[in-house]
Structure 1
Amino acid sequence: MSAPKVKPKVKPKVKIELTRAKIAALVGGLLLLIAAVATGTVLVEHSVHDHDAEEHEGHDHGKPGEAAHDHGEPGEAAHGHGEHAEGEHGHGEHAEGEHEEGKVKLSPEALDNARLELLTAGPGKVADTVSLPGEVALNAEALAHVTPRVSGTAREVRKQLGDTVKKGDVLAILDSREFAELQRELLTAKERLELAEANFNREEALWKEKIAAEKEYLSSKQALAEAKIEHRSAAQKLQASSGAGSGAKGGAYALIAPIDGTIIEKHINIGEVLKDDTQAFVIADLSTIWVNVTVYAKDLARVSAGQPARVRAEGIEQPADGEIAYVGPVVGEQTRSATARVVLKNPGAAWRPGLFVTADVAVAEVDAPVVVSYDGLQRVEGKDVVFVQEGDAFEARAIKPGRYGKAPGEQGADLVEVLDGIASGERYVGKNSFLLKAELGKSEAGHDHAH
């Protein structure tokens, strides 16, 4: 009897159900795993970096306290490389040797092109001066007030404040009823004159032929003379109202510039009604100006007309030269001083009326141990300097200037006394010294840039 067959046991199938809670747990575990791996990587990299740093310190050739790669002396910055870096970026002593401070060297070619005037400092005559306070004023003899001849209304204004004008320029155009009436009178007088001339010619011809009586001839002659007088009078009145060369017509006339100059005042606008006493423009010829100087009682005996004067003003580098043209004969009761006038010709735009100045009036001439040409005097960094020749170079030597004077002769050069800074016999540059000043400025600018 055979044994009965035994059926193998079959494992029951496991059914896995993924709920939301289980999914969330799986995702959380995965994230934790990723974080752990990343942390380990960072720790490994940090360890490697620390190891490299330790090896680097072990191979540092500097002394304790020095920065890495510092091959210089203690306390120097990284990559300083000691004197090498200074020579590379600061040019060291080599750069200073190229341009000695305060000196200018020119090549032979540049020296020839500059045409410098070499002079010798020595004794000379300068002026004994009296310094007096003053004020710049307009030349009252070169001033013009432009007013209408008759009342009118401004139609055009062609010139403005500050404009430079020439004599005869049209400043403005005015419309005037009064002027139109004068024009009408002139036309009437002209018609009467023409009629009187025709009547006289006819009566004269008849009288010569003994057709007309002499009485009628003489009457026509008298009428002609009266018509001429009337016409001439009307023309003169019109010309006096408009001004010569105004080009007036149609009741309009022009305001004309009577002199060359600059408009310093303007009191006219388009549409404005001007009376015959309205000051529409003031024109000043600024080619000459006055300096009214106060002369105190103690100096009156020394100051006289014709004496040269050098006028100085704060903010104006170059003084202006003139001479005393007038000394007032009256001393003020309150000021106990008189007024003298210095005339300056073509002083420049910087000399504006109202500016306070000091006038150095030359009252006598004295000897000075050392003088130099005024052309050689330059201003460098706020100091008066003279370029003194030293071998093949020129040194900008600071000096202390004193009194001023002129070399002998009508066209003598201006001189200045030197109280300190240059000795008699030393050679210096006169004319064209400004070229050395410019060269010195370029050299110093390049030296500053190099450092």
Structure 2
Amino acid sequence: MKRTPTINKTWLMAGVAACVVLGGGGFYALTRSPAETPPVEGEAGHSEEEGEHAEGEEGHADEEGGAEGVVVLTAAQITAANISIVSVSGGGGGETRLSGRVEPMIDARAAVATSVAGRVERVLVAPGQSVRAGQPLAILVSGDAATLRAEADAATASADAARRAYERDRNLEEAGVVARQDVETSRAQSLSSDAAARASRARVAAAGSPSASGRLSVTSPISGVVTSVQVGPGGFAAQGGVIAEVTNPARVEIVFNAPPALAAQVRAGSAVRVQGPAGEFDAVVTGVAAGAGAESGATVIRARPTGGVLPPAGSAVSGTVVTGGAVSGLTVPSDAIQTVEGASVVFVRTAEGFRAVPVLAGRQAGDRTEILSGLTGAERIAGANAFLLKAELAKGEAEHGH
């Protein structure tokens, strides 16, 4: 009675093992690819021929997909990589190096002078001091200014008297006491007196609006920094004499001295790359004056920065200006040219992606480079981020070699 369960258990375990073997073999057969399925004995030769034919086609496909110098990319991948597509353009420019200095703009400098002669009573500023527009720089006492003020006061009084006389004569005319001709004469005298009074007041304002005692303030016409003071307390300032000089350090520009021939090649808006004491920055030409050089008659080129901060006034700088007409033929963005295996190439857009085309690069002007050979001008090429295609090409060649 005890041996029966043992026999049944033994047969049960054997049955389970058989099922596992059969099931495993079935799963293995389902997961194997057709190439892994062993051929039937009668079909062995035929299967070997098909395998060799498949391998030949696969190698040919690999050869076509890995064509040398080709990077296969979809439009979506190009957009995702921020690779710009640009056209090859004709013409270009050359570069000319210039030397210059940072100088205050014309309206950023003021030599503050007095319009009347007088004695300097007080000096209110010192070199290096910041001032605002209209702030007094010095106080003068002037006899000429006192005379101007007295004349203005007298002219104003005369104009007032003439106006009152005209109004009185007009009232008497209405009463029939004064003739019409007398009224017209009074009116003319009133108008003349008003004109004389306005002229006197204008002279007083030009002199600095002195008080009745001839005391007046010499004020700065601009905001800036006092660079020099030409007078001292107790001194005498002649008419037109400079009291102080004021410069606005925030309003400066770059002034280049250029050869006279450059005046015809540079125009307002031309790009300039400037090298200063603190590094490089971009600028744009604001004016070109031929023959404006004080002694040599050289062309003067003025420029203002478009990025960065200008060095202080008086700093020496050098610049590279792009001139038109110096480079002909085809040009491309300089960052479109990449070096692959020691040769210069550009990546031309194709239906499948890009193809590396060898080119012969010439001179560089600004951010563009001349192409001497290799392109027809009708191509569309990779511009910004073209280096990503170079990296992708190198990676593809490395995988192909492996």
Q: TM-score, normalized by length of structure 1?
A: 0.47
**Unmatched tracts of structure 2, length 5 or more:** 1-80, 340-363, 369-383, 393-402
Task: Report the 3-state secondary structure (helix = DSSP H, G, I; strand = E; otherwise coil) of the residue aligned with 1:203.
Answer: helix
Task: Report the 3-state secondary structure (helix = DSSP H, G, I; strand = E; otherwise coil) of the residue aligned with 1:325.
Answer: strand
User: What are the within-5 Å matches in structure 2 for residues 61-100 of structure 1?
Assistant: none
Query: Does residue 140 in structure 1 map to residue 103 in structure 2?
Result: no
Query: 1:202 is matched with which residue?
Result: 168
Query: 1:318 is matched with which residue?
Result: 279
Query: 1:150 is matched with which residue?
Result: 116
**Unmatched tracts of structure 1, length 5 or more:** 1-118, 372-401, 407-414, 427-451
> How far apart in 2 are the matches of 1:152 and 1:336?
40
Query: 1:185 is matched with which residue?
Result: 151
Query: Does residue 359 in structure 1 map to residue 319 in structure 2?
Result: yes
Q: Decide which of 137, 140, 162 is 1:174's aligned counterpart.
A: 140
1:160-184 per-position Cα deviation (integer Å, ceiling 9, x unaligned): 2233333222222221111111111
> How far apart in 2 are the matches of 1:128 and 1:348?
26
> How far apart in 2 are the matches of 1:296 and 1:213?
77
When residues 250 and 203 of structure 1 are mapped into structure 2, their CA distance, relative to the original with a 3 A threshold, is same
Query: 1:343 is matched with which residue?
Result: 304
Aligned-pair RMSD on alpha carbons?
4.4
> How far apart in 1 are the matches of 2:247 and 2:318?
24
> How far apart in 2 are the matches of 1:288 and 1:189?
42
> How far apart in 1 are the matches of 2:281 and 2:294?
31
1:251-289 per-position Cα deviation (integer Å, ceiling 9, x unaligned): 222222222333333212222211112122233333343
Letter paired with 2:271: P
Query: Does residue 286 in structure 1 map to residue 249 in structure 2?
Result: yes
Percentage of pairs with the same residue = 18
Letter paired with 2:239: D
> How far apart in 2 are the matches of 1:205 and 1:350?
71
When residues 259 and 333 of structure 1 are mapped into structure 2, their CA distance, relative to the original with a 3 A threshold, is closer
When residues 359 and 249 of structure 1 are mapped into structure 2, their CA distance, relative to the original with a 3 A threshold, is farther
When residues 269 and 349 of structure 1 are mapped into structure 2, their CA distance, relative to the original with a 3 A threshold, is farther
Q: Is the 8 A contact 2:130 2:224 kept in 1?
A: yes
Task: Report the 3-state secondary structure (helix = DSSP H, G, I; strand = E; otherwise coil) of the residue aligned with 1:280.
Answer: strand
User: What are the within-5 Å matches in structure 2 for residues 27-426 of structure 1?
Assistant: 129-214=95-180, 216-242=182-208, 248=211, 250-296=213-259, 303-313=266-276, 316-330=277-291, 338-344=299-305, 348=309, 350-353=311-314, 355-363=315-323, 366-368=333-335, 369=337, 405=367, 425=391
1:2-42 per-position Cα deviation (integer Å, ceiling 9, x unaligned): xxxxxxxxxxxxxxxxxxxxxxxxxxxxxxxxxxxxxxxxx
> How far apart in 2 are the matches of 1:159 and 1:208?
61
When residues 346 and 277 of structure 1 are mapped into structure 2, their CA distance, relative to the original with a 3 A threshold, is farther
Shift of 1:337: 6.0
Shift of 1:225: 3.1
**Larger displacement relative to structure 2 (175-184 or 159-168):** 159-168
**Larger displacement relative to structure 2 (321-330 or 340-349):** 340-349
> How far apart in 2 are the matches of 1:343 and 1:271?
42
When residues 370 and 232 of structure 1 are mapped into structure 2, their CA distance, relative to the original with a 3 A threshold, is same
> How far apart in 2 are the matches of 1:305 and 1:403?
17
> How far apart in 2 are the matches of 1:143 and 1:357?
20
Larger radius of gyration: 1
> How far apart in 2 are the matches of 1:338 and 1:217?
65
> How far apart in 1 are the matches of 2:214 and 2:295?
54
> How far apart in 1 are the matches of 2:212 and 2:307?
39
Shift of 1:138: 2.9
> How far apart in 2 are the matches of 1:191 and 1:297?
61
1:270-315 per-position Cα deviation (integer Å, ceiling 9, x unaligned): 22211112122233333343333343578777644422112113xx
When residues 128 and 288 of structure 1 are mapped into structure 2, their CA distance, relative to the original with a 3 A threshold, is farther
Q: Is the 8 A contact 1:324 1:343 kept in 2?
A: yes
1:391-428 per-position Cα deviation (integer Å, ceiling 9, x unaligned): xxxxxxxxxxx99749xxxxxxxx9xx9xxx99659xx
> How far apart in 2 are the matches of 1:122 and 1:279?
59
Aligned residues: 261
> How far apart in 1 are the matches of 2:139 and 2:295?
48
Q: Is the 8 A contact 2:278 2:311 kept in 1?
A: no
